[in-house]
Structure 1
Amino acid sequence: MKYSLLCLALGFSLTGFAQQKTAFQTSSPWIPQIDVRSDMAIVYGVSDRLHLTFEQRVRSWRDRGYQLAFMTGIAWGGYFDYFLGAWDGKNHLGVGQVQQNGDTIWHGHNMPYVVPVQSFIDYMKTAVVKRVIDAGIHTVFLEEPEFWARAGYSQPFKEEWQKYYGFPWRPQDASPENTYLSNKLKYHLYYHAIKEVSDYAKAYALSKGATVKVYIATHSLVNYSSWQIVSPEASLASLPGIDGYIAQVWTGTSREPTYFDGLRKERVFENAYLEYGSMVSMTAPTGRKLFFLTDPIEDRPRDWADYKKNYQATFTAEILYPGVDNYEVMPWPERIYTRPYKLANSDSAVLIPKYYSTQMQVMINVLNAMPRSVRRISGSSGIGVLMGNSLMFQRFPTHNGYDDPQFSNFYGQTLPLIKRGIPVQTVHMENLQYPATLSHIKVLVMSYSNMKPMSPSVHRYIADWVRKGGTLIYCGRDDDPYQNVMEWWDTKGNSFTAPSQHLFKLLGVEGAGRFPVGKGVVYVIRQDPKEFVLQASGDTAYVRTVRQAYGALSVKNNFYLERGPYDIVSVLDENPDTAAYVVHGPVIDLFDPMLPVLASKTVLPGEQALLYDLRRAPAGPSVLASASRIYSARVSGRSFAFVAKSPAATIDASRVWLPSRPVSVSVTDVNGAPVPDVSSSWNEVSHTLFLGFGNSPEGVQVRLRW
């Protein structure tokens, strides 16, 4: 373990081959201020710039030693040659997604969100993917396949409706069934588009004697459902042309307000934890590779203090999933490092403060070293909440007065458990065919108040699992207006007025209460889950049922995970237990840019912590934490040397373990000239040296003798 941690810290895999563990995306050519030093640079967009071609942008990063990947939008992008007619002589602005009032939904000037008609798919193949593969890039990310729920009124969409359903288009605002059918078609259109583009990428690369990997960069199902966007999501994991995902989770998605205990407000950590978890459950049974994204800032203008606080919350949430160890460490470093933002309580805009860039780079280099772990987060594991793609189908508009404010039917099942320190999982119904999906689930919670099963096989898998010993909790009144849409449970010989009736028939249960079924148990609660969070103390009966179903349920106010040398902690607020969580050291506080060594760390409710436990440090001289990426580390006699690289105009902070106090500290640039303004201090208790100096992407050479 210690050897593997050191290898990861230095940027090498144990096999000796280059790894693709960490990445960042950028539309900029290489400049020294954004040389992040992740494994992979994802070049964004195929468009040429003034005096700079796409191929030259690619070369600028390749020449700096980066592995190269490519990302582009699959629902929008700078495809002006397509939209304005240069590609095939036809203006294609009419393929935009259109809402009820006739307005196109735009992502930018002359850049609509598109209905993915065949001409757009052909353009993506021949004008984008082909050029990327010809440039020698063999890793492709297709970003954000998004169809807005409020769209569905354009002529191209009406034509796709006729082809898919075999009868004329119906306006989705006219009935719940029309809404459901409209969103189901949106889902299908992007599923089909991604299948065609990914299949083409694989085949074209093969024709050139190469292989290509195709990933989807997408928001979580939690966020898309909350934001009223339709996307193929989980179904893509079974496509042979898709190799994995980037889970696009950051402050901007996770700060969406939620209801809990009758109060609507931002709950960034809890929301991020659920978002990342939904991406894990979407991919884990399929074995697809998953990158977690987080962002030190966000799209909406805030101040640096706000960004820092919420970055720590989302960052902690992502590393609490020990089975994921691949990360997109940031998008758009050019806007993080070179664009001014406000200071707290001020109208002054400044570039990223030095303390924050240092802390951020320490955290990024933690991701470079973060090991995968079989350890579990603290708490009662094995409670899952069922979710599915149809969560996106009934979010807009409101019909028959039935509302689901802030996606509360989902949060009603999850937040009452999260807030009590229970690491609830999500389970994708699309993955029930895989035995691993329910293999570690003891109690499964589900509701059809905000989603519907797209196949009767969902119920067969669940019923079989219950009979073999699983415990199911079903919550719902089954009176929302989507219960009797045109679907399998009320067509083709079926006459159920709600899909749950089919499930209950298979289970042999009726009414509300507790029912033994085979070796398992079924609980039926005749309340919609939103009622658990929209009302103060509305979750009491629900939590009592979960406790009864689970048995010895551990209720607390925190999450803790030991992962390699790292201690990861989040303490929850809105909990009757207001005690702090104390980690006993010695530990390095990695959220503090001075990297202090602490005898203990106290984490208060509403706060998170990331700590390096010195008792689990590797043996021998090593860089334990750094705001630079470390290269060429070597021990020779009574000396330890390494090269530190990080973006220009930032400050390094490093903590280095040595056998004893150094007698000389040499810090020089690549030409051997002394680096000015070096700070250093020795901590005798931990045998660690703190070093601070100006960063350089060319490398700073450090040599320590003791």
Structure 2
Amino acid sequence: MTVKDNDHLMDMETVKRAFCKTAFLLLCLPLPAQLQTIHDTTASVQTTLRATTAWQPAAEIGAQAVLLSRADDTFLHRAKSWREKNFRIHFLLGANRGDYQDYVAGLWDGRPHEDWQHSESHDYFFPAKPFIAYLKSQITHAIDCGAEAIYLEHPVFLPGADSSASFKRSWREQFKSDWQNPSASAEWRYMAGKLQQRLYWEAVVDIFAHAKQYAQEKNREVKCYLATRSLLENARRGFVGPATRVLHIPDCDGVLAEIDGEALLAPNVYSNVSAARPFETAFLQYGLFANQVRGHGKQLLLRLDPFSGGGEALPESGKLYRAQLTAALFYPEPRRFELPAIPQTLLAAARNKSAAPADSGRMAAAPPALSVQTLLAINHALKDMTHKHSDYETAERGVGILMSDAMLLQRAAPAASDSLLSFFYGLALPLLKHGVFVQPLALENLHQPHYLTGYKVIFLSYRFMQPQDYEWHERLTTWVRAGGTLIFIDDGNDPFNQVKDWWRKGMFDYTNPAEHLFETLKLGYWPKPGRNQVGMGSFIYLAENPSSFAHKTNGATQLLELVNAALPAGRTVQTQNYLRLRRGPYVVAATFAETANAGAQVLQGDFIDVWDERLPHLTQVAIAPGEQALLYDLSKIDSTQAHVVSASGIVAQERRSKNEYAFSLNSPAGIIMRVLVFIPAANATVQASSSGKSVNIKNKNEGKLYWMEFENPGPGVDVKWTWEATALGQETTTK
């Protein structure tokens, strides 16, 4: 028994059928109607928030759209309440789990569907045709209620789902034979995983095609996004489903990248020490997302929520969010974020509580615990990060590690690979902690002509995954011959080398896929370990398990020596224990612990600490090992007009004249709002009101910087600054 030949070709036929059906409907629509009514309704949305209820005042945190779930008979009412508060409506539905009791009980179509549930708790659903039809009906209702975007969340199978009655039925349909226990052999495990990926891939194709088609029939445009954990996190949890390949679906408009508190706290091994490393984990997982999307012309949205997955109850939730956010900001291209809902514990603590005013000086005291004000100031900064210019300070860039969706196929018995993913972290962490901006890369994207452009050194191993296409080797060979260095670390002992995939059938007869790689590079069946010249580049082969580098105390030294050997002659990695990035006026920085250099990263200048709710002005900032920072560099401030530099609230309705600057501020009612404003004069005065009543403001200034503090009584505060007009006065503008 073997996996069916040409699985990827059959999958592409499914895509083509869905794409052609949608294209035909497009052609049938009157062209003038399309031109008048179809437009990208999500293009202007930078920030979103997820919710299950109608609008509530606590939702005023700076989001522009809401991800509503449950398309039941209350959806229209809930959507209307958010729309009345100027939120765009997006719809979030679970691909494998949700409040779908009407489907289970048969209230939807008159037939009960308990037999299509699976997993030990029976809380998860199998992507059978009736369930896909049910999800499509949910999307239809959401679009009728005004949804402008669809997010399909977690199209994955959980561990154990491959022995459910529903999966056994699909096995028989696919392979025309009785189900075989995947735990009994690597061959059957591999077959089960490929079938699971195929089932959800076809489900996503069908669901997204329906959403696009139905929207077209209504002369509307709807965006379709996959909301998913990272490939690494799904591998850690033993979940199986499609990942990078979903981006090849024409109707998929992008990915919402999800990293929760559980993922941030999952341990990995570095220098033989197993520990949670939240920043490093988030950095590498967001990097994988970014490189999966890169080149597809599709959008990447980042979910920032350390409070989910059990994070809210943790005392270190503030540190988790700082690590997660900093990691996300090292990738400037994604400029769309899902904001975390404010935990009720923080909201209650913030109401009617005033902190000490911001102190200026050489150093600030340790930042207070995470607060509502800090969360809101971060949200303001995220909406402000539209700057195209970015400048990295790293030890080295252009170093990658190749990954594949295939790693999900061998995460369970009888031959599960390392549960801590040391085969990946063993290579990535030693480089990252020494300042190398190492990036996970997707093998599925090698078909893109310029995907590897800019990369000098790439690591590859088949010790935890198998290549799904022999053409990948041809693409890698082309890159090596053009001057790249491929470092292959593999001891040849992966049990899944023996499965009957492309390298062991058809026109190929190899013991394992590495032999085809070697021959494509023209190095024979098994080259000797060491460096081999290939065209203008080189191939370095180490006959080791990549996991071993996680357990060596000198693993970092060995890997850095490999990278140095791969770099052009005379060039070496200048190691450092930090990463730093400038995004417009913002400085994003992280300092690594667990390295020989135990010193802090010190920055001199004029900065505002965005993580400190007091927004202090600092002339020196020291970022200790294991810490991160987000700073506003005052030397980069726009001095041409008055504007809000930072705010623990939503800034709107800005109006300017030559001697006046006015704006409105909103936030959850009852909290102390803190705002830093730049005014092009040192003698400005301020007034504030809410619903026509005066609001008392505490304020101070340093030259043209003004700090404000006041309570938001609800439903927001109107602020007006005035000053004496000078020759530098501003022309009237409106935002």
Give your verdict on TM over 0.5: yes
Cα drift, residue 660 of structure 1? 3.2
**Residues 146 and 230 in structure 1, CA contact (< 8 A), matched pair in contact too:** yes
Distance in 2 between residues matched to 1:359 and 1:224, nearest whole Å = 31
For 2:489, the equivalent position in structure 1 comes to 475
* Mapped pair 1:578 → 2:598: yes
Structure 2 distance, partners of 1:529, 1:674, is 65
Equivalent pairs counted in the alignment come to: 659
Asked if 1:410 corresponds to 2:424, the answer is yes
**Which runs of structure 2 are paired with 1:247-326 in the superposition (5 Å)?**
247-300=257-310, 303=313, 305-326=315-336
In structure 2, distance between residues paired with 1:147 and 1:498: 27
2:362 corresponds to? none
Contact 1:409 1:449 in 2 (8 A): yes
Over 3 Å counting, the alpha-carbon distance change for 1:167 and 1:542 in structure 2 is: farther
- Matched residue of 2:118: which SS? coil
Residues 469/336 of structure 1: CA separation in 2 closer, same or farther (3 Å cut): farther
Which deviations, in whole Å up to 9, do the C-alpha atoms of 1:9-50 show, x marking residues without a partner?
A: xxxxxx9997111111111210112222312111122134xx
Question: What is the letter of the counterpart of residue 64 of structure 2?
Answer: D
Pair 1:153-2:166 in alignment = no
8 Å contact kept, 1:26–1:334: no
User: In the aligned structure 1, how far is the partner of 2:471 from the partner of 2:698?
Assistant: 64
Show the counterpart of 1:218: 228
**Superposition deviation, residue 297 in structure 1:** 2.0
1:534 to 519, 544, 551: 551
Instruction: State the distance in 2 between where 1:511 and 1:166 align.
Output: 43
CA–CA distance in structure 2, aligned partners of residues 19 and 158 of structure 1: 45
Tell me, yes or no, if structure 1 residue 689 matches structure 2 residue 706: yes
CA distance in 2, matches of 1:46, 1:545: 54
Say which SS state the counterpart of residue 390 (structure 1) adopts.
Answer: helix
Provide the residue aligned with 1:503 in structure 2. 517
SS of residue paired to 1:278 = helix
Check if 1:622 corresponds to 2:637: no
- The reply on whether 1:328 has 2:338 as its aligned counterpart is yes
**Which residue does 1:359 correspond to in 2?**
374
Q: Which residue of 2 aligns with 1:350?
A: none
Report if aligned partners of 2:117, 2:125 keep a CA contact under 8 Å in 1.
yes
**TM-aligned CA distance change 1:416 to 1:615, over 3 Å:** same
Inter-partner Cα distance in structure 2 for 1:553 and 1:460: 29
Letter of the structure 1 residue corresponding to residue 140 of structure 2: K
Matches of 1:134 and 1:189, distance apart in 2: 28
CA distance in 2, matches of 1:508, 1:616: 53
State the match for 1:56 in structure 2.
77
For structure 1, which segment, 644-653 or 239-248, has the greater mean C-alpha deviation from structure 2 after superposition?
644-653
1:130-279 matched pairs, under 5 angstroms: 130-279=140-289
Q: Secondary structure at the match of 1:216?
A: strand
C-alpha distance in 1 between matches for 2:713 and 2:444:
47
TM-score by length of 2: 0.86
- Check if 1:121 corresponds to 2:132: yes
Residues 457 and 16 (structure 1 numbering): CA distance in 2 closer, same or farther, change over 3 Å? closer
More off after superposition, 141-150 vs 358-367: 141-150
Cα drift, residue 296 of structure 1: 5.0
**Counterpart residue type for residue 86 of structure 1:** L
Whole-angstrom distance in 1 between the partners of 2:636 and 2:482: 41
Helix, strand or coil at the partner of 1:482: helix
2:391 and 2:581 in contact (8 A); partners too: yes
1:172-229: per-residue Cα shift (whole Å, max 9, x none)?
A: 1101111111111111111010100000111111111112110011111111111111
What letter matches 2:506 in structure 1? K
Q: Which moved more, 1:366-375 or 1:620-629?
A: 366-375
- 5 Å-filtered alignment, 1:487-498, equals 487-498=501-512
Question: Does structure 1 retain, via aligned residues, the 8 Å contact 2:430–2:555?
Answer: no
Deviation at 1:592, TM superposition (A): 0.3
What is the deviation of 1:334? 6.8
Cross-structure match for 2:400 = 384
Verify the 8 A CA contact 1:377 1:423 in the aligned structure 2. no
2:377 aligned with 1:368: no
Determine the structure 1 residue equivalent to 2:612: 592
Does the Cα contact within 8 Å between 1:657 and 1:689 map onto a contact in 2? yes
Give the alignment of 1:34-113 within 5 angstroms.
Answer: 34-48=59-73, 53-98=74-119, 104-106=120-122, 112-113=123-124
Question: What is the CA deviation profile of residues 448-492 of structure 1, one whole-angstrom value per residue up to 9, with x for unaligned ones?
Answer: 111111111111111111112111000011202111112111122
Answer with 190-199 or 632-641: which moved more. 632-641
- Name the CA shift for 1:682/1:423 in 2 (closer, same or farther; >3 Å): same
Which residue of the partner structure matches residue 545 of structure 1?
562
Q: Which runs of 5+ in 2 are unaligned?
A: 1-39, 351-367, 724-735
Q: Provide the residue aligned with 1:344 in structure 2.
A: none
Instruction: State the match for 2:33 in structure 1.
Output: none
Which stretch has the larger CA shift, 534-543 or 139-148?
534-543
Find the counterpart in structure 1 of residue 719 from structure 2: 702
Letter in 2 for 1:40: A
In structure 1, C-alpha distance between the alignment counterparts of 2:466 and 2:713, rounded to whole Å: 54
2:699 corresponds in structure 1 to 680
More moved, 372-381 vs 360-369: 372-381
1:552 is displaced (CA, Å) by 2.6
Change beyond 3 A, Cα 1:183–1:386: same
Task: State the shift of 1:494 in Å.
Answer: 2.0
| Counterpart Cα distance in 2 of 1:178 and 1:354 | 50
**Which amino acid in the other structure matches residue 42 of structure 1?**
L
Q: Which amino acid aligns with 1:192?
A: E
Distance (whole Å) between structure 2 residues aligned to residue 72 and residue 180 of structure 1: 29
- Describe the shift of the 1:528–1:611 C-alpha distance in structure 2 as closer, same or farther (beyond 3 A): same
Contact kept in structure 1, 2:238 and 2:411, CA below 8 Å: yes
User: Conserved in 1, the CA contact under 8 Å of 2:42 and 2:149?
Assistant: no
| Cα contact 2:431–2:559 (8 A) shared by 1 | no
**Contact 1:95–1:117, Cα closer than 8 Å, also in 2:** yes
Structure 2 matches for 1:618-697, cutoff 5 A? 618-619=638-639, 620-669=641-690, 671-676=691-696, 678-684=697-703, 687-695=704-712
Q: Distance in 2 between matches of 1:403 and 1:608?
A: 32
Q: Give deviations 1:118-174, integer Å, cap 9, x for gaps.
A: 111111112x01101111212111111121133211121112112223333211110
SS at structure 1 position matched to 2:483? coil
Tell whether the 8 Å contact from 1:149 to 1:395 is kept in structure 2 after alignment.
Answer: no
Q: Match of 2:707, SS?
A: strand
Q: Who is 2:4 aligned against?
A: none
Partner AA of 1:439 in structure 2 = T
Matched, 1:29 2:27: no
Q: Could you tell me how far apart the structure 2 residues matched to 1:540 and 1:374 are?
A: 34
**Structure 1 stretch 491-500 or stretch 409-418: which is displaced more?**
491-500
The DSSP-based 3-state class of the residue aligned with 2:709 is strand
Question: Judging changes above 3 Å, is the alpha-carbon distance between structure 1 residues 451 and 695 closer, same or farther for their aligned structure 2 residues?
Answer: farther
5+ residue gaps, structure 1, are: 1-14, 99-103, 107-111, 342-352
Could you tell me which amino acid in structure 2 is paired with residue 682 of structure 1?
N
Alignment partner of 1:438 is 2:452 = yes
Q: Please name the residue that 1:421 is paired with.
A: 435
- Using structure 1 for the length normalisation, give the TM-score: 0.90
Match of 1:395 in 2: 411
Please report how far the alpha carbon of residue 635 of structure 1 lies from its aligned counterpart in structure 2 after TM superposition: 2.4
- Are 1:96 and 1:105, in contact at CA under 8 Å, matched by a contact in 2? no
Secondary structure of the residue aligned to 2:656 is strand
Q: Give deviations 1:244-273, integer Å, cap 9, x for gaps.
A: 011102333122100000000000000000
Secondary structure at 1:56 match in 2: helix
For each residue in 1:514-562, what CA deviation from the matched residue of structure 2 results, as whole angstroms up to 9, or x when unmatched? 0001111000011111100123223432321112112432311000001
Deviations 1:607-627 (A, max 9, x none): 101000111111221110111
Q: Counterpart of 1:359 in structure 2: which amino acid?
A: T
Quick one: distance in 1 between partners of 2:221 and 2:160? 38
Instruction: Give distance in 2, aligned partners of 1:18 and 1:96.
Output: 37
